[in-house]
Amino acid sequence: ELKVEQNPLFLSMQEGKNYTIYCNYSTTSDRLYWYRQDPGKSLESLFVLLSNGAVKQEGRLMASLDTKARLSTLHITAAVHDLSATYFCAVDDNYDMRFGAGTRLTVKP
């Protein structure tokens, strides 16, 4: 059974700092997705990673995929308050996109 594990589950960081969220998964899938969810809102697609070594960047967020290690990372550079949200990774497993439990990020002044 496919398992997707994120860590940390809770992350409190100061503005201007850097940090990384990790997503480990148990299948050989090479399709991994990152989503953002604001409180009480729907999920917004951030990144789609479709091959080993894929790297995508958008503003202060950068996502990468290592299919051999079955690991994806979401790196936050110089965090700002607007990045406060819950971030989910998800792995495509043949009709079933399996989600991690989510990382609740709080960026403080």
Partner 1 sequence: DAGITQSPRHKVTETGTPVTLRCHQTENHRYMYWYRQDPGHGLRLIHYSYGVKDTDKGEVSDGYSVSRSKTEDFLLTLESATSSQTSVYFCAISEGQATFYGYTFGSGTRLTVV
Q: Considering beta carbons, is residue 94 or 109 the nearer one to partner 1?
A: 94
Q: State yes or no: residue 101 binds partner 1 (CB under 8 A).
A: yes
CB of 75 closer than 8 Å to CB of 85: no
Span of 10-18, 57-65, 70-78, 89-97 interacting with partner 1 by CB under 8 A: 89-97
For 81, list phi and psi in degrees, rounded to 5: -60, -35
Q: Is 87 in the site for partner 1 (CB under 8 A)?
A: no
Which 54-83 residues touch partner 1, going by CB under 8 A? Answer: none
CA distances from 65 to 13, 26, 41, 42, 107 (A): 24, 14, 27, 24, 25
Say whether residue 88 binds partner 1 (CB under 8 A).
yes
